[in-house]
Chains A and B, each alone.
Chain A
Amino acid sequence: MKNWQEKIIQILLVGAASASILIVLLIFLFLGKEAFPFVSDPGIRVLLEHQWIPVSFKREVFGIIPLITGSVLVTILATGLMIPFGVLGAVYIAEIAIEKERAFLKPFIEIMAGIPSVVIGFFGLVVLSPVLKEVFQLNTGLTALLGAILLALMAIPTVISISEDAIRSVPKSFKEASLALGASRLQTIFRVVVPAALPGIIAAVMLGIGRVIGETMVVLMVTGNAAQITFNPVESVRTMTATIAAEMGEVAFGSNHYQALFWVGIVLLVITFGLNYVAQKVLNRYRMG
């Protein structure tokens, strides 16, 4: 009787676990199917051009390089902002804050994680954009930097929560040993606890990056969406996600433009896959060591 029940539960669990694999495979298959005709006409090389001009009376160009550089620029900037705030915040909450402070800080951080992205985008558009314009003496606040700041804001709660878990799960004996050897509190935190929690912290940052690169609404609202190749933080950029969101709705079904958008989706998916793969590798290596 018991055996029989366990079998069923096992089958259910296997089904649940493999459903996600199946779905990912189907997504890949579907993306490939819609994107594939582009290979023969107009040819895959078009994707490597340096311009994205999907609507033109002369010649439509579907070079996704500017979209990739746009996404990369925003993601790098956001990561640069997210790591210090996220990791140091987590260190403070896990190691230094007293119980009262923690009870106050944690719920606020969780609320921040729950703010809808369109609200954050609106906040950026109306409040932060003029500030940025003033501070950097710009002509317009709608820049890659503004997008990155808002995205970092959205990713920081994730980074803090997971890093804090990692830091708190470092065995107490490590800390005690360090303190007993005469290390100061700060030395203990940064020489012993943080290195021990590093795999968890890296995983947290990777998850944060995943959120940043896939986020759509905020970048669509605040980065200005000019498809140009630039690595200047105070220029306007167009990300891959914003391009798909803005153009998919009105594109003629099965046209070259439609297929090119699916290619953008494939590139985005491959990048996220690569990120996850690297994160796993890093985690494994640290675990071994």
Chain B
Amino acid sequence: MKTFGKLIIVGSITGLLLSGCGKKTKTEEHSYLTIKGSDTMVHLASNWAEAFMNAHPGIDISVTGGGSGTGIAALLNGTSNICIASRKIKSKELSLAEEKRIYPKEIVTARDGIAIVVNPENTVETLSIEQIGKIYTGAYTNWKQVGGPNQQIIVLSRESSSGTFVFFQKRVMNKKDYTRKAMLMPSTAAIIQSVSQDKWAIGYVGLGYGTEAKDRIKIVLVKDGDTPAIEPSIKTVQSGEYGIARPLHFYTNGEPIGVVGQFVNYVLSNEGQKIVLETGYVPIN
């Protein structure tokens, strides 16, 4: 509280000094905004922040990663204004928030499709969500069980600390455990590297990364129940046709007002959503 007071004082003094220069408009006082959370979203959030700061020179924004969990903890401790999260807030975290009299408000800012990738030499073109789930739980271990050649499947996953790991487990694997044979890779780049080298590997990566590496890997078309096989793309994720997609959230303390509100409005504006597209994610509309 004390430091916050100091910040305001410092801010207003700078404001006064600057207004003395004459060129600056008085309406924009200096303010700070901190954003923290999901590593998936850090790149996107910094792009937003950069563009926003260019348009509003009086506002400074700092963006740090560390994971969705870390971001939510920072929001609850009052050390950050906005939490970026690639998963929904858990009920445990919500009850903790209530104790601390913080009221997380969820805002969907973009969507992210998860692409299933295999080696270009693999003959398998389409998989159903059910089949993918069985591959990852270890029920299927050979490509011939899903219409491919008689070769053992090498299952690649992200590390268990990743938000994508949990999302995938929930959406694709029916909340079952990963097979013990699953190799946990430390990064998306490692998954793409491995799939491009190992003929019979399968992995999952964010749509943006997947399309970028399209010359080295093959993106599998995904069937959800009776639907036709759908290729993940901005269009199919947006329309909801492609089954393995998730929203990317902002969490703020209560309704976003003031500078936070300004930033949130910017992110949801056409301009902000254009940045989503440029960063390789899917705009909300």
Contact = CB atoms under 8 A, between A and B. Distances in A.
A binds B: yes
Interface of A: 51, 53-58, 66, 125-126, 129-130, 133, 139-142, 220-221, 224-228, 236, 238, 246-247, 249-252
Given A54-B160, A221-B190, A246-B186, A139 B175 contact: no
A220 B190 CA distance: 11
Nearest to A246: B159
A133 B184 contact: no
Given A125-B193, A250-B67, A250-B70, A58 B180 contact: no
Given A54-B160, A55-B169, 14 more contacts: A51-B180, A57-B169, A57-B170, A58-B177, A125-B193, A139-B152, A139-B198, A139-B200, A140-B183, A225-B186, A246-B184, A247-B160, A250-B69, A250-B162
Q: Which of B69, B160, B176, B182 has the most CB of A within 10 A?
A: B160
B62 interface: no
B256 to A, nearest CB: 26
A250 B177 CA distance: 19
B201 A140 contact: yes
10 contacts: A51-B180, A139-B152, A140-B201, A225-B159, A226-B180, A227-B184, A228-B180, A246-B161, A249-B67, A251-B161
Interface of B: 66-67, 69-70, 151-152, 154, 159-162, 165-166, 169-170, 175-178, 180-186, 190, 193-194, 197-201
A220 B187 CA distance: 11
Nearest to A53: B177
A221 B197 contact: no
Interface of A is mostly: loop
B198 A225 contact: no
A226 B69 contact: no
A247 B66 CA distance: 12
A220 B161 CA distance: 14
A117 B159 CA distance: 20
Contact of A252 (B69, B176, B199, B201): B69
Given A58-B175, A139-B151, A226 B184 contact: yes
Q: Which of A53, A139, A221, A247 has the most CB of B within 10 A?
A: A139
A111 B159 CA distance: 33
A226 B183 contact: yes
Nearest to B153: A139
A162 B183 CA distance: 37
B199 A139 contact: yes
Nearest to A226: B183
Contacts of B198: 133, 139-141
Nearest to A238: B184
Contact of B183 (A51, A129, A236, A247): A236
B169 to A, nearest CB: 7
B197 A133 contact: yes
A226 B160 contact: no
A224 to B, nearest CB: 4
Contacts of B169: 55, 57
A140 B155 CA distance: 10
Nearest to B151: A139
A250 B185 CA distance: 15
Contacts of A130: 197
A252 B198 CA distance: 34
B184 A55 contact: no
Contact of B180 (A55, A221, A227, A252): A227
A51 B181 CA distance: 11
Contact of B154 (A58, A129, A139, A252): A139
Contact of B175 (A57, A133, A220): A57
A141 B165 CA distance: 23
A126 B181 contact: no
Contact of B185 (A51, A225, A252): A225
A28 to B, nearest CB: 26
B186 A141 contact: no
Contacts of B185: 224-225
Given A139-B151, A247-B160, A252-B69, A56 B193 contact: no
A215 B125 CA distance: 40
B181 A228 contact: yes
B193 to A, nearest CB: 6
A236 to B, nearest CB: 5
Nearest to A217: B186
A247 B46 CA distance: 25
Nearest to B170: A57
**Interchain residue pairs A-B with the least CB separation, the first 8:** A250-B161, A57-B175, A224-B183, A225-B184, A55-B160, A140-B198, A250-B67, A228-B180
